[in-house]
Structure 1
Amino acid sequence: MRVQMLGLCRFSYVGLRGFQIDHASYEERRALLYDPARLRRRWLWFSEVALPAWRAQTDPDFTLVVMTGPDLPEPWLSRLKALSAEIPQLRLALVPPMKWHLPACRAAIAPHVDPRADVIGHFRHDDDDAVAIDYIASARADFGHVEALWRAEGRLALDHSRGLMLRLQEGGVQLTPRICHNMGVALTVFLRPEAQESALNYDHSKIGLWMPGVAITRPLMFIRSIHADSDSGSMGQGVPWPVEPAELDDLLWQRFRLRREGLEQLGRALA
């Protein structure tokens, strides 16, 4: 069975709806998203937290569509173009501002649907979060264990729910181990290839309304960043899982290709 893994990452896309922070006009939204200091912060999150593990995926057979507007200011637009040329799995989608968010997301994703696929594993990825280096491999393999459940309904949510909540604080890094279900990051929505929906069509916090779900609670699979620029600054419900501080530092590298020292440097740069 051919399983395509297809993701969408929105990078300061100037569209209305689809976000917890809403605006009445494109001008208001553009003023927030294109603020030079904010764009600099978002780029640091994206390049220093999100990208290392995408570069190091143990299964390179995936597509991550980075969606932004054609008027994204420089140098950020040129940097995204350079990344899409450098990293084979990245595709840059320049989508003009649209009133309705879901059609905009569909416009970004549709050209990259593989017509040979039997099933598509859709995922969303925020530009300040990270998935583990084996997320693609694990999602594809774990789907094989629950394929029959997907066949019964044509929809299935596979939730890799063991993660770390990341806060950068003055003088250090706070990492909170949590098992949180359906956070959005490392959540794969398996759909038939002819479906017009993607992961963005379903509110991840209520995804059980539309499809069955399976939670995979180990190994550690995601980092979710919480900071002032987050669309949602809440840690959400969850349960802690035990880990020693020294082991946690090792896991940062083993699972995400991140170092605590690098995160501390990022915190100083963002400050």
Structure 2
Amino acid sequence: MRVQMLGLCRFSYLGMRGYQVEHDSIAARRAYLYESARMERRWQWFTTVALPGWLAQTDPDFTLVVMTGPDLPQPCLDHLQGLCERVPQMRLSLVPPMEYHLQACRAAVAPHVDPAADVIGHFRHDDDDAVALDYVAEARADFARVSALWQAEGRLSLDYGRGFMVEARDGQLKITPRICHNMGVALTIFLRPDAEETALHFNHTKLAQWMPGVQVNRQPMFLRSIHADSDSGDMGPGLPWQPEDGTLNLILRQRFGLRRGDLADLARRLEAGGAGGAC
């Protein structure tokens, strides 16, 4: 059974709805999203936290669509275009502002659906979060173990609930191990190739309304960032878990390709107003 892993990452997409922070007009939203200091911060989160995991996936057979607007300010648009030209798995989708966010997401993803695939593993990814280096490989393998559930309905969610909440506040970094249910990151929605929906069409907190779901918590699989620019600024419900003493730095390196010192340095620089970003 051929499974295509297909993700969508929204990078300051200029459109209405679809976010918890809302605006009354496109002009107001543009002013908020494209403010230069905010753009620098988003680029730093994207390149420091989100990007390393995608560049080093143990299974390179995936597509990550980076969705933004055609009027994204320079030089950020050039940097995104250059990145997607260099990385075979990444595709840049320039979607004009649309009133209905789900239509915009579908417009970004639809051209990249492989009609020859039997199953599409849709996933969403925020530009300041991270997945483990084996997320794609594990999602594909675990789907094979439970594919009968998908065959029954043509829909199935596979959630990796063990991970870390990374808070950057007042220049300080705090990392909290957490087990969460359908957080949104490292969550895959398996659909048929002809389905009209993407991962964004299903509220990740209410997936049980639409499909059966499986959660796997073997290894840490996600890192979710919480900071001043977060669309949602709290951890939400979950359970604590504790890595073995002295292993946190090793887990960050081996599972996510990240260094704790780099994350702490980013938190300090953002607080000081010195993001130094390429955007």
**1:178 correspondence with 2:216:** no
For residues 108 and 59 of structure 1, what CA distance do their matches in structure 2 show? 23
Contact 1:157/1:188, CA 8 A, preserved across alignment: yes
* Structure 1 residue 78: Cα displacement: 0.3
Is 1:226 aligned to residue 226 of structure 2? yes
Offset from partner CA, 1:8-27 (integer Å, 9 cap, x none): 00000010011111111100
Structure 2 partner of 1:16: 16
SS of 1:156's equivalent? strand
| Structure 1: tracts of 5 or more residues without a match | none
Amino acid at match of 1:87: V
Write the deviation string for residues 100-141 of structure 1: whole angstroms up to 9, x where unpaired: 001100110000000110000000000000000000000000
Q: Where does structure 2 lack aligned partners over 5 or more consecutive residues?
A: 272-279
Distance 1:62 1:171 in 2: 35
Distance 1:171-1:35 versus aligned 2 partners, 3 A rule: closer
CA distance in 1, matches of 2:185, 2:171: 27
Return the letter of the residue paired with 1:33: L
> Structure 2 matches for 1:252-263, cutoff 5 A?
252-263=252-263
Displacement after TM superposition at 1:193 (Å): 0.3
Return the TM-score normalized by structure 2. 0.96
Normalising by structure 1, report the TM-score.
0.98
| Deviation string, structure 1 residues 158-188 (Cα, Å, up to 9, x no partner) | 0001010001244642110000010000000
> What's 1:69 paired with?
69
Query: Residue 269 of structure 1: CA displacement?
Result: 1.9
Q: Secondary structure at the match of 2:182?
A: coil
Cα separation, partners in 2 of 1:150 and 1:168, compared to 1, 3 Å: same
Name the CA distance, whole Å, in 2 between partners of 1:173 and 1:84: 30
- CA deviation map 1:212-238 (0-9, x unaligned): 100001210000000111111110100
Equivalent residue number for residue 90 of structure 1: 90
Q: Say whether 1:128 aligns with 2:102.
A: no
Matched, 1:140 2:140: yes
Q: 2:277 maps to what in 1?
A: none
Contact 1:189 / 1:199 at 8 angstroms: preserved in 2? yes
| SS of alignment partner, residue 246 of structure 1 | coil
Asked whether the 8 Å contact 2:169–2:227 carries over to 1, the reply is no
Equivalents in 2 of 1:89, 1:2: separation in Å?
A: 17
Letter in 2 for 1:129: D
Distance of 2:142 and 2:244 partners within structure 1: 28
Deviation of the 1:242 alpha carbon:
1.4
Structure 2 CA distance for aligned equivalents of residues 146 and 225 of structure 1: 30
Q: Given residue 15 of structure 2, which amino acid in structure 1 is its aligned partner?
A: G
The answer (yes or no) to whether the contact 2:52–2:258 under 8 Å persists in 1 is: yes
Number of equivalenced pairs:
271
Does the aligned pair in 1 maintain the 2:171–2:269 contact within 8 Å? no
Partner of 1:213: 213
Amino acid at match of 1:196: E
Q: Which residue in the other structure is 1:191 paired with?
A: 191
- Displacement of 1:244 in angstroms is 3.5
> Partner letter of residue 211 of structure 1?
M
Q: How big is each residue's C-alpha offset from its partner over 1:40-89, in whole Å with a ceiling of 9 and x where there is no partner?
A: 00000000000001000000000000000000001100000010011110
| Distance of 1:171 and 1:15 partners within structure 2 | 31
SS at match of 1:205: helix
| Residue in structure 2 matched with residue 37 of structure 1 by the alignment | 37
Q: Which residue of 1 aligns with 2:49?
A: 49
Match of 1:114 in 2: 114
